[in-house]
């Protein structure tokens, strides 16, 4: 009795053969490791919980465009003191829920996609990736991550820009209420406000990861140790801080543009309108509003994230 015919990719009918694109996707995700996602999520959550008040300050400075509705702050300390006096600890952690969700998801997905793309690019190669390949891998990971998480960042911005001075009181009760209200009133486009400058912002992560990878590689060569050797916390911190400062200095204006597009108290026709009005009313300095609290916040946040990520990922991957 003859056995049933067996089909492989070469002999299967054309309609049933997997496409080249689907094969590439399968091959890419064969390199995805959940350990990288868990490690990235852990780092993002820890850093966000520690440093959220500085993120609040950064967003409030980024949108300070002269509207009477907005509180006026003389500096970082004055802003923190004012929020604490008026609203207490709860005020300093306004918007923390979507920030934790957003940071955790963003770092988790970012490290998942980034390491999968790197693994796919290195498959069958004996040489290390070039700086441009790290740049491209990080940019691709950033685009995928942003597409998934943008609605969370819109909600975070809206919650952080609720003021006690608003005549009708605070508009949103929390993360879920904000998601529902934005969707009902503005639809899917409302949840994806700031997506275009966010895409431009993937260059920030790409530059940061490229710099971090190159610093690590050069440092391993300098110390003459294997490329998978474990470094101490201060070494990870130094490389994370340098790579983050480099990325912030290069790409910060997109964050101002994005925050202003997501702000519920002002209306812009789009990215070009934000750029034109900011330049006309505030000059070049307008594109760097909030940069000081941002550097103060993101540098330690990046250091915490990378130290937690490196140690958690090594633990789960059995590299310790």
10-residue stretch averages of pLDDT, the chain, 320 residues long: 46 57 68 87 92 86 75 85 90 89 91 91 83 92 94 89 70 89 94 88 88 92 87 91 89 86 84 92 90 82 90 81
Asked whether residue 8 is domain-assigned, the answer is: no
Report d(CA 56, CA 161) in Å as an integer.
Answer: 9
Asked whether residue 141 is domain-assigned, the answer is: yes
Which ranges constitute the DSSP H helices of the chain?
20-29, 34-62, 76-92, 96-122, 131-160, 175-191, 195-223, 233-251, 253-262, 271-282, 291-316
Contact 202, 175 (CB under 8 A): no
Asked whether residue 237 is domain-assigned, the answer is: yes
Any residues with CB less than 8 A from the CB of 252 and at least 6 apart, and which? 287, 288, 291, 294
Residue 5 pLDDT: 45
Q: Tell me which residue of 126, 189, 161, 165 sits closest to 55, measured CA to CA.
A: 161
Asked whether residue 243 is domain-assigned, the answer is: yes
CA 175 to chain centre: 18
DSSP 207-273: HHHHHHHHHHHHHHHHHT--TTPPPPHHHHHHHHHHHHHHHHHHHTHHHHHHHHHH-TT---SSHHH
Q: Tell me which residue of 115, 263, 296 sits closest to 197, measured CA to CA.
A: 263
Asked whether residue 2 is domain-assigned, the answer is: no
Asked whether residue 281 is domain-assigned, the answer is: yes
Neighbours of 166 (CB within 10 A): 12
Residue 28 pLDDT: 67
Work out how many domains the chain is built from and give that number: 1
Asked whether residue 96 is domain-assigned, the answer is: yes
CATH number at residue 298: 1.50.40.10
Asked whether residue 91 is domain-assigned, the answer is: yes
Report d(CA 285, CA 280) in Å as an integer.
Answer: 11
Residue 129 pLDDT: 86
The pTM (predicted TM-score) of the whole model is 0.71
Residue 29 pLDDT: 67
Report d(CA 23, CA 15) in Å as an integer.
Answer: 15
Distance from first CA to last CA of the chain, Å, rounded?
56
Buried/exposed code over 26-54 (b: 16+ C-beta within 10 A; e: otherwise): eebeebbbebbbbbbbbbbbbbbeebbbb
* Domain with 119 in it: 33-316
Report d(CA 316, CA 278) in Å as an integer.
Answer: 47
Contact 67, 260 (CB under 8 A): no
Report d(CA 216, CA 240) in Å as an integer.
Answer: 10
Residue 61 pLDDT: 81
Name the 3-class secondary structure at 289: coil
Residue 276 pLDDT: 93
């Amino acid at each position: 009795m003859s056995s049933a015919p067996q089909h492989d990719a070469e002999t299967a009918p054309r309609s049933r053969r997997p496409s080249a694109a689907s094969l590439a996707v399968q091959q890419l995700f064969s390199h995805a490791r959940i350990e990288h996602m868990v490690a990235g999520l852990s780092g993002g959550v820890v850093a966000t919980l520690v440093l959220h008040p500085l993120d609040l300050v950064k967003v409030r400075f980024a949108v300070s465009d002269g509207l009477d509705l907005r509180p006026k702050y003389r500096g970082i300390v004055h802003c923190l003191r004012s929020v604490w006096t008026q609203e207490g600890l709860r005020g300093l952690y306004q918007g923390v829920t979507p920030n934790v969700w957003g940071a955790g998801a963003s770092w988790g997905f970012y490290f998942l996609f980034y390491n999968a793309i790197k693994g796919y690019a290195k498959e069958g190669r004996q040489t290390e990736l070039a700086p441009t390949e790290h740049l491209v891998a990080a940019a691709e990971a950033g685009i995928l991550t942003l597409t998934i998480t943008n609605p969370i960042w819109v909600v975070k911005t809206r919650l952080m820009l609720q003021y006690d001075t608003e005549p009708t009181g605070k508009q949103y009760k929390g993360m879920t209420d904000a998601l529902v209200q934005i969707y009902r009133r503005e639809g899917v486009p409302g949840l994806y406000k700031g997506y275009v400058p966010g895409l431009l912002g993937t260059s920030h992560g790409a530059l940061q990861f490229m710099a971090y990878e190159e610093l690590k590689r050069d440092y391993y060569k300098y110390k003459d140790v294997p490329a998978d050797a474990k470094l101490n916390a201060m070494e990870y911190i130094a490389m994370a801080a340098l790579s983050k400062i480099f990325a912030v200095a290069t790409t910060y204006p997109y964050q101002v543009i994005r925050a202003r597009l997501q702000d519920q108290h002002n209306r812009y026709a789009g990215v070009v309108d934000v750029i034109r009005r900011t330049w006309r009313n505030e000059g070049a300095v307008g594109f760097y509003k909030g940069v000081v609290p941002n550097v103060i916040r993101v540098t330690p946040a990046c250091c915490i994230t990378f130290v937690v990520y490196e140690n958690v990922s090594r633990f789960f991957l059995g590299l310790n």
